[in-house]
Amino acid sequence: MAKAMQMSIKMEPELHAEFMAVAANTHTPAAQIIRQLIRGFIARHETPNATTIEAMQAADRCEGKRIIDAGALFNDLEI
């Protein structure tokens, strides 16, 4: 995906320094970390679709399928 937009934010100098140090220690560009944070924030705040809502409601009622391990999940998904 082409990156054409820029964002400017204000923060405390100490927070910036600590962030940049962690980014350097993990060999991860600061911009990549910010993009990951933004994508995660969006994902956490998206409205679930009808299938997901139905599954969440069934889980709240202790209904629905119970998957005991990854193999059973893959079998259920026919993967």
> What pLDDT was estimated at residue 72?
86
Which sequence spans correspond to the domains of the chain? Answer: 15-46, 48-79
The percent of residues above 70 in pLDDT, for the chain, comes to: 100
Model confidence at 63, pLDDT cuts 50, 70, 90, reads: confident
> Is the Cβ–Cβ distance between 55 and 64 less than 8 Å?
yes
CA-wise closest residue to 6 among 34, 39, 26, 41: 34
Ramachandran bin of 17, using left for φ above 0, alpha for ψ from -120 to 50, beta for the remaining angles: alpha
